[in-house]
């Protein structure tokens, strides 16, 4: 473990990798700072961080001490390699790209990284869907809702609205408070005919001047 410097990393020997190829795995800067605390003050850079690497028995003992069950209610078993799956799943959630994750895990096949080492139920898919922008708008939504309404219902509503407008116009005329625009000489005089085609008195349309 090289925990000093700006870019700490772990150098994995080729004798313990499946592909027999050594590689350097970057360490999170905060993790490196925690590992430096474990080293003696007079330790050299070449000294090991752990005199002896933790084994499975040590993990089980630590789990029992903090009250974590080895197997959960879903039947998933916790072991040393489980942390690789945890790392990959967290990497997906926080945006580590697929190729980088594959390199860190040492997988030759990207399908192994994506399908086996990613816990899909833990990906918070609802949060991912929430990232998408909403391309709709209020006007478009109103049009969609209008299309859902039966034509007869729309025609009935329009007819009732027209009746209310006509009633208001007739009432204003009868009370002498027409809402029509006024001229320079005051309000225009409208005929008292009770029809839906109100018009001011005067020559009939098409009549020739005398």
Which pTM value belongs to this model?
0.55
pLDDT 10s digits, 112-160: 999 999 988 888 888 888 888 878 776 666 665 666 555 555 566 666 6
Structure tokens at 100: 């980088």
Domain ranges of the chain: 1-52, 54-132, 138-174
Instruction: Render the burial of 188-205: b for 16+ CB within 10 Å, e for the rest.
Output: eebeeeeeeebeeeeeee
* CA 173 distance to own-chain centroid: 57
pLDDT 10s digits, 23-76: 899 999 999 999 888 887 787 777 777 777 778 888 889 989 999 888 888 788
């Amino acid at each position: 473990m090289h925990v000093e410097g700006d870019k700490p990393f772990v150098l994995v020997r080729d004798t313990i990798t499946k592909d027999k190829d050594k590689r350097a795995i970057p360490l999170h800067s905060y993790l490196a700072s925690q590992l430096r605390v474990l080293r003696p003050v007079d330790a050299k850079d070449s000294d090991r961080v752990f005199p002896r690497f933790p084994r499975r028995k040590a993990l089980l003992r630590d789990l029992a001490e903090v009250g974590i069950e080895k197997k959960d209610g879903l039947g998933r078993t916790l072991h040393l390699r489980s942390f690789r799956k945890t790392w990959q799943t967290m990497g997906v959630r926080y945006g580590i790209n697929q190729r980088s994750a594959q390199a860190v895990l040492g997988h030759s096949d990207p399908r192994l990284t994506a399908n086996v080492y990613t816990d899909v139920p833990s990906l918070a898919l609802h949060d991912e869907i929430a990232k998408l922008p909403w391309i709709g708008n209020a006007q478009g939504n109103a049009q969609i809702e209008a299309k859902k309404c039966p034509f007869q219902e729309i025609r009935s509503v329009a007819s009732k609205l027209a009746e209310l407008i006509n009633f208001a116009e007739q009432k204003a005329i009868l009370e002498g408070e027409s809402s029509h625009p006024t001229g320079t000489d005051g309000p225009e005089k409208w005929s008292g005919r009770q029809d839906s085609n109100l018009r001011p008195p005067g020559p009939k349309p098409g009549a020739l001047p005398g």
